[in-house]
Amino acid sequence: MNNSFSVTVAKEYLTFSAAHFITLAGHQCESLHGHNYRVGVTVSGSVDMASGFVVDFGVIKQIVKPLIAAVDHRVLLPSRNAKLEFRDEGELLVVIYRGAHRFTFPSAHVALVPVTDTTAELLAEYLARRVGAALSAEGLATVAELQLEVEESVGQSAGYRIGLGLRG
């Protein structure tokens, strides 16, 4: 993209705490553990001459906050992972990993995320697509690209970039 502007929102309150595990047998992250995640969003495109914005910072914050709230203080489980089976037992969710009973969680404490694993990369893609869809719904003709970063610890992050094709 040539001659474009960008705006970034990476506020200290765009964070969430969550537990997860990775389904790679023998990997150190296969055990249940947690992170204090931080989310940053960069939107690129042209400036709308009427407002002077690519997109108002407030619009980005309004979109991102509920997405973060939905996963904050939850156990993140990848609903599209073939190695996991989920069994609803009333107020409990039983997770069967590789055919063996592994975890039981209160259902209210779980966020089923439509990814194949809860890596920072796939969480970034999931969130970026949700933010992108919301920006598209806003009809912002100046927005061309979105990049979303998920930091799982200081200095350790993954990002996903998506072209929005909204530019008129």
Residue 166: what pLDDT? 59
Give per-10-residue mean pLDDT for the chain (168 aa): 84 96 88 96 94 94 98 98 96 94 93 98 98 91 93 96 74
Residue 141: what pLDDT? 79
Residue 167: what pLDDT? 47
Residue 4: what pLDDT? 87
d(CA 142, CA 5): 10
Q: Tokens standing for 119?
A: 């890596």
Residue 108: what pLDDT? 97
Q: Is 44 helix (H, G, I), strand (E, B) or coil?
A: strand
Q: What angle do CA 120, 56, 73 make, to 5 degrees?
A: 35
d(CA 70, CA 132): 17
Q: What angle do CA 105, 160, 42 make, to 5 degrees?
A: 110
Backbone angles phi, psi at 3, to 5 degrees: 50, 60
Residue 156: what pLDDT? 96
